[in-house]
Structure 1
Amino acid sequence: MKDSARLFDFQAVNEDMVRRLFSAFDPKASITQVSPLTKGMSTSNYALRTDSGSRYVLRIYPANNDHSGIEAAAYQYAKTKIRTPEIFFFDDSKQIISFSYLIMVFIEGSTLGDFIAENEGCPDHVVHRIGSSLALLHQTKYSHMALLDEHLQIAGQLESFASQYYTLLNGLAGTHIQPSTKEKCMQFLADHAELVERIADKHVFSHGDFIFSNIMVTPSLEPCFIDYEYCFAAPVFYDIGKFFRTRTQVERYIGADTIAAFEEGYNRNAREPLPGEWYALSKLADISTMLHLINKSQIPDGWGSAINGEIEKNLKLLAGEAEPLLDK
């Protein structure tokens, strides 16, 4: 699958408005360059350069999907645990513009996906660091799957992970995949309910959108996680499943060594080590995650077929590992 399709339109603002927004943070600075960063699914981002040479990112939130307060809190939380971009200014008053926005430091480097494609692979120590950093984020526990408020406290309980599969498959998401794929999912879930229960055994602070385009690799090969707007309380396998979802352009570079490096890094900082069958459990968790993406009447072109194919791949992997998993 590709991470590039947008869920919300890119919000175009002219340079005069950009300068007004920035002046609320630093009225003395002069903006010399404004460059739209069109990648992303929800927010509208601009790279800014000032006359001093400093670089920033202006991040504007969609009006009907404003997670700005939660994301600002999540960045502060992450800053206490891992390398995190600094947030300089946050404004949700909507007095200058009818959207919430923040200003943060610009991270030099490439997204993980671009880095892997350009270098035809990723050093194990970088993957190890990604795993260890994710484990640090996951150290905060919650009692159940839930939305979070602007203090990162539980704001509203979500449907249990175990029942989500059936709700999604019997809802709009199920109409966008092949009937045969839906039937296979239903049968697997019926035959292996224990696996689903194991996924939902523990809940932690989840990044919520832990995909390659939300992981920056700096010139010094340090990973840096960005875009926390969808953070919530979820099983650890939610983020891991998203991380190991197929990326067409780089999949050939993700092998057993990559998986092993991630596991070793994660377990180094984890409150509890991953179980031996963690990779397969994350693939099962990601089926629910992908179904959520298409649980609506209208979806972007190609999403249904791409997710159908990914679900089929996950089911094949699980069919080969399900019995041994149950024995462990």
Structure 2
Amino acid sequence: MKRVLITGAAGFLGSHLCDRFTKDGCYVIAMDNLITGDLKNIEHLFKLENFEFHHHDVTKFVHVAGDLDYILHFASPASPIDYLKIPIQTLKVGSLGTHNLLGLAKDKNARILIASTSEVYGDPLVHPQNEDYFGNVNTIGPRGVYDEAKRFQESITMAYHTYHGVDTRIVRIFNTYGPRMRLNDGRVVPAFIGQALRGEDLTIFGDGLQTRSFCYVDDLVEGIVRLLHSDYVYPVNIGNPDEITIKEFAEEIIQLTNANQKVVYRPLPTNDPLQRQPDITKAKELLDWEPKVKRAEGMQTTLEFFKKFSREELSISEHRNFN
């Protein structure tokens, strides 16, 4: 039985990875400090014999007894609302946390996959974004704490690979959605759905012509698993290249939820990317991977998840979204 450590395990992506690896017959050691994660996302796994949970902050020394085959490092705030509230912790988990886990991988002779992000490309001057593009990032802007944490994360990962021979993988994750997203995390999918369910107008920041490309979480997890089991050590984009403007997406949500609301516009946040679309040529060629779930299908499943929220939970969600 393969032993897998998953950090950020109680978060949106981490919890789905826990589901996948326990289902695949691995022994999963889940780790989270619960700053942004929620035990509700993984409580259904507590009864399994091949699952255990550790409440721990990976910016502190990480100890795991026994052998480890794989480490998946997904511990990090991932939404603007989170990393603007806790910027220092965001930088620390990308630097100190990654350093600790790379050291653990070296000690255990384990393969480690690092979760990077499309935010390393910043507000891109190349479209669509491929892995050879170095990005356009404002290091001291409000999004810099997240962008630079992830860029440093990639750099130290490659340093451990080249200097220490650690077996590493790097996934650059583009906009992903699905069940277990936090209603109040500020990202566009839960923000729009939350506003629609509350009967509010949908808020667009900017003119709405900025683009995003949304990948359903099951597709993303499949891509991550294939990358983990591949022999490729350099960054790989995993995301859905089906690009849509924020304005068009808001209209889709209104239609999906049968809402009567209109769209309202607010000023664009500083350094908000105007375009976001992955070039997934490498993923297709190296991993034989591409997304399968159509947006209409994935959004319907996601809507059903959010419909389970109570009126009270809907009412206390953040009213601001970041595109």
State whether TM-score is above 0.5: no
Q: What TM-score do you get using the length of structure 2 for normalisation?
A: 0.29
Structure with higher helix content: 1
Q: What TM-score do you get using the length of structure 1 for normalisation?
A: 0.28
